Amino acid sequence: MRPLFLLTTATLALMTATASQAADDVKLGFIVKKPEQAWFINEQKAATALGEEEGFEVVRLAGEDGQQVLSAIDNLNSQGAQGFVICPPDVRLGPAIMNRAEQYGMKVVTVDDRFVGSDGEPMEGVPHLGMSGFKIGQQVGNAIASEMEARGWNPEEVAALRITNYELPTAKERTDGATEALLESGFAESNIFDAPQQNTDTASAFSAASPVISQNGDFEHWVIYALNEESVLGGVRATEQYGLAPEDVIGVGINGSGAAFAEFSRQNPTGFYGTVAVSSTSHGRETTSNLYNWVTEGVEPPANVETTGTLMTRENWEQVRDELGL
């Protein structure tokens, strides 16, 4: 029996060494559409940190348009990557991205924005983790309504700046949720003004918001909502240019990133009242962990995981940041 025991021990040691080598050989990509935005910086950092902890490599790449995404996938293949996490620049690129990934035998997990197929419906076969856009939007709308009530504003005398990007389904879900919550609180639908933006950043939101505010100068009080806090900040900057005082503006964003932290850190408050914070760190870490387990153990991630957020304001932002690990 003793030789059998020795043989078994040696076999187990060999198996352990082989498994360890396999883990060392794992390489995963993490592709984001806006690598300069704090949200995506945090996601990629969290993914890299997990890789360092678990002994695999994470390659961080930008994919700001379709061609860059496909080039990034080619790049990953040349490095021997087994899969990637991606927030696509356009959700309609899903079929093309999956076609390229399948050519290389790569596994794919989407984060934040979910692929849609040629029929306009979510691609159910691709695991996804993101926000519940509509619920997050409702949180925004409820936060605005509560602050309006606290300030004693008459909803019929308040204008809402809805900065939109309807080409992005998750953006529409968020602004639709905020709109519904505002209307349920008694807000006048005729007082909601759309400002379609070309991109999802502060500059494009500022350009979209400025003429809308200028054309509706009869309103003394404004509320602002959009798909993210960068866009809301663009709206807030537009109100400042128009001459509105901070106490006459309530802007509530979504994410909980450096853009919000910088605004809350200003010596004097601005019209940026708050943001519904979601842990970008958690998104980056969890999607990468799911992909790693899928590659190494064959455990396919959940089809669709949706998260919600926590209202962060000037009064509690440091506490919420620490609690969410932002």
Listed in sequence order, the residues at least 6 apart from 254 whose beta carbon sits closer than 8 Å to its beta carbon are 131, 136, 137, 140, 174, 226, 227, 228, 229, 275, 276, 278, 309
Structure tokens at 187: 């807000």
Confidence of residue 213 (pLDDT cuts 50, 70, 90): very high
Residue 317 has pLDDT above 50, yes or no: yes
| Domains of the chain listed by start with CATH number | 27-126+281-306 (3.40.50.2300), 133-277 (3.40.50.2300)
DSSP state string for 179-226: HHHHHHTT--GGGEEEEE-SSSSHHHHHHHHHHHHHHTTT-SEEEEE-
pLDDT in tens, 175-198: 999 999 999 999 999 999 999 999
pLDDT score at 241: 96
pLDDT in tens, 222-263: 999 999 999 999 999 999 999 999 999 999 999 988 889 999
pLDDT in tens, 59-109: 999 999 999 999 999 999 999 999 999 999 999 999 999 999 999 999 999
pLDDT score at 305: 93
Residue 278 has pLDDT above 50, yes or no: yes
Residues 228, 254: contact at Cβ < 8 Å?
yes
pLDDT score at 246: 97
pLDDT in tens, 105-159: 999 999 999 999 999 899 999 999 998 889 999 999 999 999 999 999 999 999 9
Instruction: Using a pLDDT cut of 90, give the percent of the chain over it.
Output: 82
Neighbour count for residue 62 (Cβ, 10 Å): 18
pLDDT score at 11: 43
**Spatial distance between the Cα atoms of 197 and 90, rounded to a whole number of angstroms:** 15
C-alpha triplet 68, 305, 27: angle, nearest 5°: 45
DSSP annotation of 114 reads -
